[in-house]
């Protein structure tokens, strides 16, 4: 496995056309999903994915000779682009506010109900991530959802492994606290038919009332 | 790399931590693009590779991809659409649309609508400011306080007030690194606009001092240019009233930096010609500074955008936008964004704050 990883790296560095085609086949979906989780927006995600591979091609010389899979490298590029997209989006906040509200569903209205579930799931992901700082979001998305290990996450973000650990541990504390708060809030306001601890943390998070962003 | 950790590595520990985190988070929403779309992006990549390889050393420059404006807010579902719409961005709008002459774009410049009168005074003050010297190898430093609402959850949720410092490169480019931004003690590079694989050149999305200086100083010509170049929401309707608002907001985005005096003066006079621009009483910026207000209402979406100017020297203090009607995003009055300009300067290096001799010169030059 490792030899073939190095072989792939070598060919990518050389600018081998077939190697890039293979890279695309293998990782486009992973890159797309990573971008989708970070931005919460299908069209941004699509553009980020496309741009990630173009950037990969342009910066292929920076790939190291040895190391494992090239996925961390690609996800690192995509993370960067996702941040830019978010920033551009904030700059154009007003445009966003002008979209009809059930935007996600509407875009895909002709599609199936599955798409609406996708939209709902995506929103839950965004709601959870929205309560974290950017650095924590990125580490979480890479580590938990894209399945990179700590070392790979460090590689993707170009930060030390220790930093990955400390960001994750901060994120975990914050999420646990938010989940607990949401649970308390839910118990105060709703029928106590859900026994304490039964509500899943994720659902609790999604139910969390709007409040100042916690940092 | 998964599965080839050294035996001593904390693999199980790590897994445990990740599992615990996964429990705290919603499921990852794994999705995929339709096959045809994947194919299209792959072809784009292959095409780029072929092009670059054919061009080997005698690089032809003609193939820079058509510029795709990224406005995720209003993105059409497909990139192809985005491309198509970018092409329409060059179409200028027809001028007068039959609104009363006193507010129409080409209305007499002497009309003394309160908003126009104020903008003319602001324009005169801008004209009087000293023009700093800005070299291509320098950076424009901005320190501001700002807060923005996050809308991705479906409801406007205003974030905390943060101090934001930025250093924007003045090189005409195209550049891949546009400068630095420091928020909450974290310094990050500003990368090229998404879609600019070859880098982002100076322009309306990256307004360098030199680019601003190159704009027409005749307010009518400037306004025509702004109507033509203000990015158009992809897939958006070509409603002229929305266009007026977009141009008003575009001007707002250009304000609040180090500004060539002639351009600043022309921008305010151009703004005075946009229909629907009015005075805003009790306007204040993100840090609560009260001042002279100029505003425009987007009646269609129930959003008001206000600019605030210093009462004494007419400098630009900041801006604010909020809902004026109950919408899906929140109740009337919900803040969408606000900022306050605190400091501007020309500096030699990104990341360096003004203060050294020779760099002070540009400080506090507001548009």
pLDDT tens sequence across A61-82? 888 888 889 999 999 999 988 8
- The string of pLDDT tens digits covering residues B65-110 is 333 333 333 333 333 333 333 333 333 333 333 333 333 344 444 4
- Mean pLDDT of the A103-121 span: 57
Q: What pLDDT is recorded for position A213?
A: 32
Among B28, B85, B204, most A C-beta atoms within 10 A, so best to mutate, is B28
Provide Rg for chain A, Cα atoms. Answer: 19
Query: What local confidence, expressed as pLDDT, does residue A68 receive?
Result: 87
What are the tens digits of pLDDT across the range B308-361? 999 999 999 999 999 998 887 888 889 988 999 999 999 999 999 997 544 444
**High-pLDDT (> 70) share of chain B, %:** 74
pLDDT at A101: 46
Residue A164, chain B, CB below 8 Å: the answer is no
* Contact residues, B window 13-42, toward A, CB-based 8 Å cutoff: 14, 17-18, 20-33, 37-38, 41-42
Note the ipTM here: 0.73
- pLDDT above 70: residue B297: yes
What pLDDT, on a 0 to 100 scale, did the predictor assign at position B243?
A: 85
Per-residue pLDDT, averaged over A110-138, amounts to 73
Contact criterion met (CB < 8 Å) for B26 and A17: no
- The residue-averaged pLDDT of B263-278 equals 94
Is A60's Cβ below 8 Å from some Cβ in B?
no
Are the beta carbons of B20 and A33 separated by less than 8 Å? no
Tokens 């118990």 sit at which residue?
A187
**Cross-strand partners of B290:** B284
The distance of A81 to chain B (nearest Cα, Å) reads 7
The residue-averaged pLDDT of A102-113 equals 47
Sign of dihedral through CA atoms B351, B353, B356, B362? positive
Decide if B21 and A175 are in contact by the 8 Å CB cutoff. Answer: yes
pLDDT higher than threshold 80 for residue B197 = no
Q: How many Å apart are CA B297 and CA B304, to the nearest integer? A: 4
pLDDT, residue B118, reads: 93
Contact B24 A80 (CB under 8 A): no
CB B31 within 8 A of CB A33: yes
Which two tokens mark A172? Answer: 């975990």
Q: What is the mean pLDDT of chain A?
A: 76
- As a whole number, mean pLDDT of residues A29-39 equals 91
Q: How far apart are CA A125 and CA B243, in angstroms?
A: 34
Residue in B11, B36, B41, B190 to test binding to A, most A beta-carbons within 10 Å: B41
* pLDDT band at residue A92 using 50, 70 and 90 as cut-offs: low
Write down all domains in chain A, each with its CATH number in brackets.
1-94 (1.10.1740.10), 99-215 (1.10.10.10)
Cβ–Cβ < 8 Å for B294, B307: yes
Mean pLDDT to the nearest integer, A171-185: 80
Residue B59: pLDDT above 70?
no
Please calculate the CA angle A93-A215-B140 and round it to the nearest 5 degrees.
Answer: 55
Q: What is the mean pLDDT of residues B32-58?
A: 81
**What percent of chain B lies above the pLDDT cut of 90?**
39
* Interface contact A51-B197, CB threshold 8 A: yes
Distance from C-alpha of A138 to C-alpha of A136, rounded to nearest angstrom = 5
What's the average model confidence in pLDDT over A106-130? 65
Predicted confidence at residue B198, as pLDDT, reads 79
> Looking at residue B308, what is its pLDDT?
96
Q: Write the DSSP assignment of B254-289 as a string of letters.
A: HSSS---HHHHHHHHHHHHTSTTEEEEEEEE-TT--
Q: Find, among B45, B128, B97, B247, the residue nearest to A94 by Cα.
A: B247
Q: Among A122-126, B66-70, B138-142, B159-163, where is mean pLDDT lowest?
A: B66-70
Provide the whole-model pTM: 0.59
Q: How confident is the model at residue A114 (pLDDT cuts 50, 70, 90)?
A: low
Nearest residue in A to B328, CA atom: A101
Considering only CB atoms, B32 lies closest to which of A15, A32, A92, namely: A32
What pLDDT shows up at residue A161?
93
* C-alpha–C-alpha distance, residues B233 and B297, integer Å: 18
Do the Cβ atoms of B317 and B308 come closer than 8 Å?
yes
What's the confidence (pLDDT) of residue A154?
93
Domain positions in chain B are: 114-362
Contact A106, B90 (CB under 8 A): no
CB contact under 8 A, A99 and B73: yes
Q: How confident is the model at residue B112 (pLDDT cuts 50, 70, 90)?
A: low
CB contact under 8 A, A81 and B191: yes
Q: Could you count the other beta carbons within 10 Å of the beta carbon of residue A80? A: 22
In chain A, the residue whose alpha carbon lies closest to the alpha carbon of B21 is A172
In this structure, of A10-24, A115-129, A169-183, the range with the lowest mean pLDDT score is A115-129
**What is the per-residue pLDDT for A110?**
47
Could you tell me which residue, B364 or B113, shows the higher pLDDT?
A: B113
B4 vs B275: which has the higher pLDDT? B275
Can you give the three-state secondary structure of B317-336, one letter per residue? EEEEEEECCCECCECCCCEE
The per-residue pLDDT for range B205-254, each reduced to its tens digit, is: 899 999 999 999 999 999 999 998 887 765 455 566 678 888 999 999 89
CA B319 – CA B338 distance, rounded (Å): 6
Cβ(B21)–Cβ(A143) below 8 Å: yes
In this model, does residue A185 exceed pLDDT 80?
no
Do the Cβ atoms of B283 and B308 come closer than 8 Å?
yes
CB contact under 8 A, B68 and A99: no
């Amino acid at each position: 496995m490792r030899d073939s990883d190095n072989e792939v790296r070598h060919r990518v560095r050389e600018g081998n056309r077939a190697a890039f085609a293979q890279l695309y086949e293998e990782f486009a979906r992973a890159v797309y999903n990573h971008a989708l989780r970070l931005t919460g927006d299908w069209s941004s995600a699509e553009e980020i994915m496309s741009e990630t591979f173009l950037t990969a091609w342009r910066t292929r010389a920076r790939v190291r000779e040895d190391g494992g899979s090239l996925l961390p490298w690609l996800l690192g590029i995509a993370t960067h682009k996702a941040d830019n997209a978010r920033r551009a989006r904030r700059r154009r906040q007003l445009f966003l506010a002008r979209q009809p509200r059930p935007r996600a569903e509407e875009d895909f209205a002709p599609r199936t109900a599955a798409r609406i579930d996708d939209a709902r799931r995506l929103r839950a992901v965004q709601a959870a991530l929205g309560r974290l700082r950017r650095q924590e979001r990125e580490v979480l998305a890479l580590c938990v959802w894209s399945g990179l290990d700590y070392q790979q996450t460090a590689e993707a973000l170009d930060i030390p492994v220790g930093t990955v650990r400390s960001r994750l541990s901060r994120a975990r504390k914050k999420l646990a606290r938010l989940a607990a708060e949401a649970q308390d809030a839910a118990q105060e306001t709703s029928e106590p038919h859900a026994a304490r601890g039964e509500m899943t943390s994720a659902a609790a998070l999604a139910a969390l009332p709007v409040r100042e962003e916690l940092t | 790399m998964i599965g080839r950790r050294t035996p001593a590595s904390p693999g199980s520990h790590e897994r445990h931590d990740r599992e615990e985190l996964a429990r705290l988070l919603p499921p990852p929403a794994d999705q995929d693009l339709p096959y045809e779309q994947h194919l299209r992006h792959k072809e784009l990549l292959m095409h780029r590779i072929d092009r670059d390889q054919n061009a080997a050393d005698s690089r032809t420059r003609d193939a820079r991809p058509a510029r795709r404006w990224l406005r995720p807010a209003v993105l059409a579902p497909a990139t192809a659409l985005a491309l198509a719409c970018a092409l329409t961005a060059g179409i200028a709008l027809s001028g007068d649309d039959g609104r009363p002459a006193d507010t129409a774009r080409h209305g007499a410049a002497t009309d003394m609508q309160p908003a126009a009168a104020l903008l003319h005074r602001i324009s005169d003050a801008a004209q009087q400011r000293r023009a700093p010297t800005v070299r291509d190898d320098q950076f424009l430093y901005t320190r501001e306080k700002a807060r923005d609402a996050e809308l991705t959850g479906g409801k406007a949720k205003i974030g905390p007030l943060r101090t934001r410092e930025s250093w924007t490169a003045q090189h005409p480019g195209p550049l891949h690194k546009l400068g630095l931004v420091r928020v909450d003690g974290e310094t990050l590079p500003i990368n090229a606009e998404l879609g600019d694989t070859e880098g982002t050149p100076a322009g309306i999305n990256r307004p360098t001092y030199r680019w601003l200086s190159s704009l027409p100083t005749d307010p009518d010509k400037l306004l025509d240019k702004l109507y033509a170049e203000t990015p158009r929401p992809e897939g958006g309707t070509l409603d002229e009233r929305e266009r007026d608002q977009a141009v008003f907001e575009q001007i707002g985005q250009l304000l609040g930096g180090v500004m060539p005096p002639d351009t600043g003066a022309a921008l305010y006079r151009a703004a005075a010609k946009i229909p629907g621009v009015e005075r805003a009483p009790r306007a204040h910026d993100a840090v609560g500074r009260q001042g002279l207000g100029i505003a425009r209402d987007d009646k269609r979406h129930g959003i008001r955008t206000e600019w605030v100017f210093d009462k004494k020297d007419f400098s630009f203090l900041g801006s604010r936008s909020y809902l004026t009607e109950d919408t899906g995003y929140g109740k009337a009055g919900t803040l969408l964004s606000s900022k306050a300009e605190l400091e501007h300067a020309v500096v030699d290096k990104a990341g360096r704050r003004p203060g050294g001799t020779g760099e002070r010169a540009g400080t506090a030059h507001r548009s």
